[in-house]
């Protein structure tokens, strides 16, 4: 029985393992985005309003909290439907928060960066660790 378990483990191809690693990195990216978005919404409108926004998003667009990274335009449309013109301020606060989370510089070519735009840049940078997950700087003394 012990040998059977090992034999089954060796049946996983390198391509399958690569797929699992990619799936895990995408999942981590999605949750880092969701955490950033939640921090902004909690600070700007409170936890109850955030929960109502995500309930509305799920009911109207079938997008859950962990899927904001895949549907940023739908997310902004939902914010606009709820908050009108104030949604632009929410979006810019989220852009700033995501820049911090993924250690991105401001794109100087743009006057105003969209949530979708910063998410595209963040995908490319998502292999880098978040600032909160970095180990402390070693003491060189």
3-class SS of residue 61? helix
Please tell me the pTM assigned to this model. 0.72
For residue range 71-98, list pLDDT tens digits in order.
999 999 999 999 999 999 999 999 999 9
Q: Contact at 8 Å (CB) between 73 and 99? A: no
Structure tokens at 137: 């700087």
Q: What is the pLDDT tens value at each position of the chain, 141 positions in all?
A: 455 544 444 565 554 544 444 456 778 899 999 999 999 999 999 999 999 999 999 999 999 988 999 999 999 999 999 999 999 999 999 999 999 999 999 888 888 899 999 999 998 877 555 555 555 655 565
Query: What pLDDT, on a 0 to 100 scale, did the predictor assign at position 114?
Result: 94
Query: What pLDDT, on a 0 to 100 scale, did the predictor assign at position 74?
Result: 93
Query: What pLDDT, on a 0 to 100 scale, did the predictor assign at position 129?
Result: 53
Which residues touch 122 (CB under 8 Å, ≥6 apart)? 29, 33, 98, 101, 102, 104
Q: Give the span between the Cα atoms of 23 and 19, in whole angstroms.
A: 6
Biggest CA-to-CA distance, the chain: 64
Domain ranges of the chain: 21-127
Query: What pLDDT, on a 0 to 100 scale, did the predictor assign at position 18?
Result: 45
Q: Could you confirm whether domain 21-127 is CATH 1.10.1200.200?
A: yes
Burial of 119: CB neighbours in 10 Å, binned 0-12, 13-18, 19+: buried
Q: Where are the beta strands (DSSP E) in 29-116?
A: none
């Amino acid at each position: 029985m012990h040998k059977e378990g090992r034999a089954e483990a060796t049946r996983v191809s390198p391509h399958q393992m690569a797929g699992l690693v990619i799936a895990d990195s995408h999942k981590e990216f999605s949750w880092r985005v969701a955490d950033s978005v939640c921090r902004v919404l909690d600070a700007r409108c409170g936890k109850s309003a955030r929960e109502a926004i995500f309930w509305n998003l799920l009911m109207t667009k079938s997008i859950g909290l962990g899927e904001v990274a895949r549907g940023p335009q739908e997310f902004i449309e939902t914010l606009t439907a709820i908050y009108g013109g104030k949604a632009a301020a929410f979006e810019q606060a989220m852009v700033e928060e995501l820049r911090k989370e993924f250690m991105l510089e401001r794109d100087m070519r743009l006057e105003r960066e969209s949530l979708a735009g910063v998410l595209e840049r963040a995908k490319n940078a998502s292999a880098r660790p978040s600032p909160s997950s970095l180990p402390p700087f070693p003491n060189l003394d």
